Amino acid sequence: MKVVLQNLTKKFPNRNKKAPDVIAVNNFNFEIPDGKLIGLLGPSGCGKSTTLHLLSGLQKPTGGRIFFGEDDVTDLPAEHRGVGLVFQNYALYPHLTVRQNICFPLENLKGAAKLTKAQMHKKALEAAKLVQIDGLMDRKPSELSGGQQQRVAIARALVKMPRVLLLDEPLSNLDARLRLQTREELRRIQKETGITTVFVTHDQEEAMSISDMIVVMKDGVIQQIGKPQEVYDNPVNLFVAKFLGNPPINVFAGQVKDGKLYIGEDAVMDVKESMDREVYVGIRPEGFILKENGVLGCGLNGVEVMGRDISVVSTHEACEAAAIRAIISAENKVDFDAKTVRFDLKPDKVFLFSKDTEERIYVKTE
């Protein structure tokens, strides 16, 4: 089921009446292709949950339309939209068994859709098998681990085979290992069922790893939409560049002068066709090449061993952060006792941003 958001806007009146309205979702326009998994990504308060609530019908938009396929569902109540919802806090009924919890959305079906107990149990078992909890059907939620509880919540959302699956930070309450495992499983289930899915998270790695497409948001405004790798490789502004990537991008104060890009005193790169100005220079951790007479000189702090790679930790007075992290192959030999270290830079890992607007400056580098 294709989902289309058209000029979708949600304003909340500010508690302080004199202050302007909070625009939680500001004129969203995008299309989620049928059967894809979209990651809504951004810091806390950027409007992710509000967007999901609008899609689910739990909240009414202030403006704009929502389409499921060709149907305009903007005025359709939540229970008629055919959406499955999963929240961070599972929200299971504590006094019901796993089977009863999963069956719950099927209980109120009316008319021709009404199911017998046996039919409901069969559907519940199928959904439980998808998330591999079919051995726990008679337990109560209190007798389950957090991961198992979240699987019950996912099975409950799937039992009606929703047209659209909406997941609001569904993995946040799980420990790191379980989070990894469950996100891979979610992806498998999503692919198996082909249900169009919107996955909300503030965790960039999580969104990048399972999404067909990510929507990066800030303060209710969409910053960039694209395939995870494309957005990572081509951020449109400093916010997006900083939000994606771990370790994060290294940001320096720089200057474009006479066809060269300067960081401090070092001319680090030739840049074509650009006016002289001050810029932010973002360099991805994998954009550094350790080299004795390299273009950028930094103070050496130390080396963090990561196994296959090492992280060279260094300093530079033009760098925004206290430490620069350069990820290089462990085959490189770093002189631990040296006070300084020099790098060459990979041009496609270096991005320039306007000092004023923080928008990307597209220049030819070489």
- Determine the 3-state secondary structure of 211 from DSSP: coil
User: Does 49 interact with Mg ion (rule: CB under 5 A)?
Assistant: yes
User: Does 224 interact with ligand ADP (rule: CB under 6 A)?
Assistant: no
List helix spans (H) across 198-281: 204-210, 228-233, 238-243
Cβ(62)–Cβ(40) under 8 Å? no
User: Does 49 interact with ligand ADP (rule: CB under 6 A)?
Assistant: yes
Taking CB within 5 to 8 Å according to partner kind, which of Mg ion, ligand ADP, none is near residue 242? none
User: Does 22 interact with ligand ADP (rule: CB under 6 A)?
Assistant: yes
Q: How far apart are CA 338 and CA 318, in angstroms?
A: 21
Taking CB within 5 to 8 Å according to partner kind, which of ligand ADP, Mg ion, none is near residue 47? ligand ADP
User: Does 170 interact with ligand ADP (rule: CB under 6 A)?
Assistant: no
Give the shortest CB-322-to-Mg ion separation in angstroms.
Answer: 30
Q: Which stretch binds ligand ADP (CB under 6 A): 45-53, 132-140, 174-182, 344-352?
A: 45-53
- Determine the 3-state secondary structure of 241 from DSSP: helix
- Which residue in 35, 45, 247, 294 binds ligand ADP (CB under 6 A)? 45
Q: How far apart are CA 250 and CA 229, in angstroms?
A: 18
DSSP state of 346: -
Give the shortest CB-59-to-ligand ADP separation in angstroms.
Answer: 8
Report the DSSP beta bridge partners of residue 352. 281, 361
Residue 49 or 190 having the CB closest to Mg ion: 49
Q: Which stretch binds ligand ADP (CB under 6 A): 42-50, 72-80, 115-123, 295-303?
A: 42-50
User: Does 98 interact with ligand ADP (rule: CB under 6 A)?
Assistant: no
Sheet holding 340-345, edge to edge: 288-290, 340-345, 296-305, 309-315, 324-329
Residue 17 or 339 having the CB closest to ligand ADP: 17
Q: Which stretch binds ligand ADP (CB under 6 A): 39-47, 123-131, 282-290, 353-361?
A: 39-47
Taking CB within 5 to 8 Å according to partner kind, which of Mg ion, ligand ADP, none is near residue 141? none
- Which residue in 1, 3, 24, 319 binds ligand ADP (CB under 6 A)? 24
User: Does 101 interact with Mg ion (rule: CB under 5 A)?
Assistant: no
Query: How would DSSP label each residue in 54-103?
Result: HHHTSS--SEEEEEETTEE-TTS-GGGT-EEEE-TT----TTS-HHHHHH
Taking CB within 5 to 8 Å according to partner kind, which of ligand ADP, Mg ion, none is near residue 123? none
- Which residue in 5, 50, 86, 154 binds ligand ADP (CB under 6 A)? 50
- Which residue in 7, 12, 119, 317 binds ligand ADP (CB under 6 A)? 12
Q: How far apart are CA 141 and CA 162, in angstroms?
A: 23
Cβ(345)–Cβ(283) under 8 Å? yes
Residues 6 or more apart in contact with residue 206 via CB below 8 angstroms: 39, 171, 179, 183
Query: How would DSSP label each residue in 120-140?
Result: HHHHHHHHHHHTT-GGGTT--
Q: Which stretch binds ligand ADP (CB under 6 A): 48-56, 134-142, 262-270, 288-296?
A: 48-56
Region of residue 265 (phi > 0: left; psi between -120 and 50: alpha; otherwise: beta): alpha
Q: How far apart are CA 241 and CA 248, in angstroms?
A: 8
User: Does 237 interact with ligand ADP (rule: CB under 6 A)?
Assistant: no
User: Does 41 interact with ligand ADP (rule: CB under 6 A)?
Assistant: no
- Which residue in 3, 36, 48, 239 binds ligand ADP (CB under 6 A)? 48
Q: Return the half-sphere exposure (C-beta side, CA atoms, 13 A cut-off) of residue 6.
A: 14
Residues forming contacts to Mg ion in the complex (CB under 5 A) are: 49
Which residues of the shown chain bind ligand ADP in the complex (CB under 6 A)?
12, 22, 24, 42, 44-50
